[in-house]
Structure 1
């Protein structure tokens, strides 16, 4: 298996950037497009466990658009072959000093394009030895 083929890495990086822009601008249509419309798609959030595409889109529709701005750091995207990737990033919000968010997404290429099939978001106190 080939890891980090340049053209595949570029594709997933582009989709990850689309996701980030949609997230901070609360573009729920694009967010919905990027998650796989399947009952097996899941998203573990800071305060919720969402099983299935319907639960994920319902959460997004009900979420307040206030305070979504953030900056990312130490983003790592790794592709495995031509059809699977994992994207990981840290994120920081001005409204939560001293805290760091962690986000991981599993992306799979389907006939309709790259889709997130699993995501995990958590927030912790920023480790003293790893401030960014």
Structure 2
């Protein structure tokens, strides 16, 4: 298996950066677009467990738009072949001293790269 093929890594890095911009600006349509529209999609957040695209979409629609600014401290993106990737980062929210962690599993679909599983947590 080819790991980190340059052209695939560039694709996933670009879509990850698009996701990050949508996240901090609360661009809900883009966030919805970048999650796989499937009942198999998962997102474990800092305070919620979401099973399926519909639950993730409902969470995004009701989430407050304040306090989303953050600085990425470390980011590691790894691609496996041409259709699968992981993106992991550590972040610090504005006004917080707690380090957050985010993991995403990305899959190439007919519509493009989509998050199929995600996890967000905060260190104590």
TM-score, length-scaled by structure 1 = 0.93
1:76 and 2:76 aligned = yes
Could you list the structure 1 runs, at least 4 aligned residues long, displaced by more than 2 angstroms after superposition.
Answer: none
**Mapping of residues 1-132 of structure 1, within 5 Å:** 1-97=1-97, 99-125=98-124
Query: Alpha-carbon deviation of 1:36?
Result: 0.2
Structure 2 alignment gaps of length 5 or more = none
Query: Alpha-carbon deviation of 1:112?
Result: 0.9
Q: Measure the CA separation in 2 of the matches of 1:21 and 1:108.
A: 20
Deviations 1:52-92 (A, max 9, x none): 00000100000000110000021000000000000000010
How many residues align? The count is: 124
Q: Measure the CA separation in 1 of the matches of 2:13 and 2:67.
A: 24
Structure 1 alignment gaps of length 5 or more = 126-132
Corresponding position of 1:129? none
* Structure exhibiting the larger radius of gyration computed from Cα positions: 1
Q: Measure the CA separation in 1 of the matches of 2:95 and 2:48.
A: 20
RMSD: 0.6
TM-score, length-scaled by structure 2 = 0.98
